[in-house]
Chain A
């Protein structure tokens, strides 16, 4: 990865000396998160909302060097909603669902993400990463448990039996902190990873891609457009996607032999874009030249250091699987770490973070590798096969289905020991190990809302009314469907295959972990213990 400039400071923050820098001996903290990007911020807020004190450090003092990630998936938005910024993001972002694929200059294939009705969050929004980060930083300011320290650079990690000693460099010089847990969310070029001497295994693609964000007042439709071999960029691929503020993401494949220094010169970029955009007026916001990696760490948990997001795994951007999967890592880890720190669960629960999120990373890497294989074939022989698929596509549906310009991120169905296997058959879209499907509901006060926003980060039992509601075991909040929340459209009945008396146990990350046709106190209690790694 070699991102290159046009650096723009969008939001600046200041360094402040922390009291920890003035103590004679290192202060002990339960959790330090390194890296205030989307993943680190989400992890800090999730832990902070659970009452865990968090120190979040970042080596910079600003956010917003280019748009970077722009596509945020439904599951990410649901998580952000639980973290308090979901509605803001959707209001600020561009909601889209239509994608078009062109061969040459002709439309060959289009897809509609066809979001199911009755979900609070759309399938996807586009929003510049700096706006998402700004919203998260604003939210951090409202959570007392979080201490965000800019210009604090991780410089040393020393593993001990039950803690990690960090050395942190600041404008006032270095200081040390002893932490029970270090969450490494410091991105693709993770310092924490280097300090532990860890390396990736996976594939690097030779092809180079130009990513440009441009400002342009164009009345083009809000859809994802992807071209194979267009006349304006012969022999290569191109992508165009709308962001708010009349900003457009343009992604041009440059091939393996492109000269990075030459290609990032603004006049060169402008010339390429003019071929694409014709007479339209535009200005450059951000330029970057990338080579893609599809790779991950062998393990995500190293003693008391836990890797999340790009620090743990990397994919190509086709499919929007990078930042989205990172935020899902953060959510998966946060409730588990909080349970361990509060003494509700043993250390083995952290190993299930690794198991579940390595499964997700492998799924994302597989999809991303397939997409990149199709978009940027490695050899002439592979290009020949790819071109055969494209040539057949206008005439044969099977070939259109093989066209791969990125398979978009959806939440992973975790195959996990934390789930209690079903005793009965359930139809519907709800899956063990996956986030519960959303549905419209009405509360006791008559207020219309959605199911997931009523499940705010604790073990929750959805019980379908059949006489008097039971008393749920300790540590589980019971929501009686038909009493506390009314299934106004029948979506819960359908999506959960909900019958009177049925009960569904959701983890603190809203994942379904057990379900029964009838309530059984002992079984519900055991399922919660199992989901806590017992």
Chain B
């Protein structure tokens, strides 16, 4: 691995999880997947780094 940071960066990881779970509260799996896809695009653009994006894709695929 190169540039992707997998160490925890949120001072309160529970609060971050809570925000993500509340965003999908009451959603169907399909609606949540659409939300996640939009989130991926937004966060990928925010990161703005092809190398990091490639590493993140690899990590996500490998964890499935």
A404 pairs with B17, CB closer than 8 A: yes
A398 pairs with B9, CB closer than 8 A: yes
**How far in angstroms is the closest Cβ of chain A from B19?**
11
B63 pairs with A382, CB closer than 8 A: no
B6 pairs with A402, CB closer than 8 A: no
Classify the secondary structure of A's interface with B. helix
B29 pairs with A398, CB closer than 8 A: no
A391 pairs with B63, CB closer than 8 A: yes
Q: Closest residue to B18 on the A side, CB-wise?
A: A370
Interface stretch of the complex, out of A330-338, A371-379, A409-417: A371-379
A400–B7 Cα gap in the complex (Å)?
9
B13 pairs with A381, CB closer than 8 A: no
A366-406 vs B, CB cutoff 8 Å, 1 = contact: the mask equals 01001001100111111011101101101111101110100
A391–B24 Cα gap in the complex (Å)?
19
B6 pairs with A382, CB closer than 8 A: no
B13 pairs with A385, CB closer than 8 A: no
A193–B20 Cα gap in the complex (Å)?
36
B8 pairs with A391, CB closer than 8 A: no
A389–B8 Cα gap in the complex (Å)?
12
**How far in angstroms is the closest Cβ of chain A from B56?**
10
A395 pairs with B6, CB closer than 8 A: yes
A374–B24 Cα gap in the complex (Å)?
13
Task: Verify if A28 is at the interface (C-beta below 8 Å from B).
Answer: no
B25 in complex: contacting residue of A374, A378, A400, A402, CB < 8 Å: A378
A395-B63, A407-B14 known; A381-B6 Cβ under 8 A: no
Chain B's interface size range is 20 to 34
A397-B7, A404-B17 known; A392-B25 Cβ under 8 A: no
Task: Verify if B43 is at the interface (C-beta below 8 Å from A).
Answer: no
Task: Verify if B32 is at the interface (C-beta below 8 Å from A).
Answer: yes
A381 pairs with B24, CB closer than 8 A: yes
A166-202 vs B, CB cutoff 8 Å, 1 = contact: the mask equals 0000000000000000000000000000000000000
A385–B25 Cα gap in the complex (Å)?
11
Which residues of chain B are near A401, meaning CB under 8 Å?
A: 8, 10, 13
Q: Closest residue to A390 on the B side, CB-wise?
A: B63
B63 pairs with A397, CB closer than 8 A: no
Within 8 A of B (CB), among A153-176: none
Which residues of chain A are near B59, meaning CB under 8 Å?
A: 392, 395-396
A373–B24 Cα gap in the complex (Å)?
12
Task: Verify if B62 is at the interface (C-beta below 8 Å from A).
Answer: yes
B31-64 vs A, CB cutoff 8 Å, 1 = contact: the mask equals 1110000000000000000000000000110111
A168–B62 Cα gap in the complex (Å)?
65
Which residues of chain A are near B63, meaning CB under 8 Å?
A: 388, 391-392, 394-396
B26 in complex: contacting residue of A374, A379, A392, A396, CB < 8 Å: A379
A379-B26, A395-B6 known; A370-B32 Cβ under 8 A: no
Which residues of chain B are near A397, meaning CB under 8 Å?
A: 6-8
A394–B28 Cα gap in the complex (Å)?
27
Which residues of chain B are near A385, meaning CB under 8 Å?
A: 20-21, 24, 32
A407–B21 Cα gap in the complex (Å)?
18
A398 pairs with B13, CB closer than 8 A: yes
Within 8 A of B (CB), among A194-228: none
Which residues of chain B are near A404, meaning CB under 8 Å?
A: 14, 17
B residues in contact (CB < 8 Å) with A: 6-10, 13-14, 16-18, 20-21, 24-29, 31-33, 59-60, 62-64
Q: List 30 A-B contacts (CB under 8 A).
A: A370-B18, A373-B18, A374-B17, A380-B28, A380-B29, A381-B24, A381-B27, A381-B28, A382-B21, A382-B24, A382-B32, A385-B24, A385-B32, A386-B21, A388-B63, A389-B17, A391-B63, A391-B64, A392-B59, A394-B63, A395-B6, A395-B62, A396-B6, A398-B6, A398-B7, A398-B9, A401-B8, A401-B13, A404-B14, A404-B17
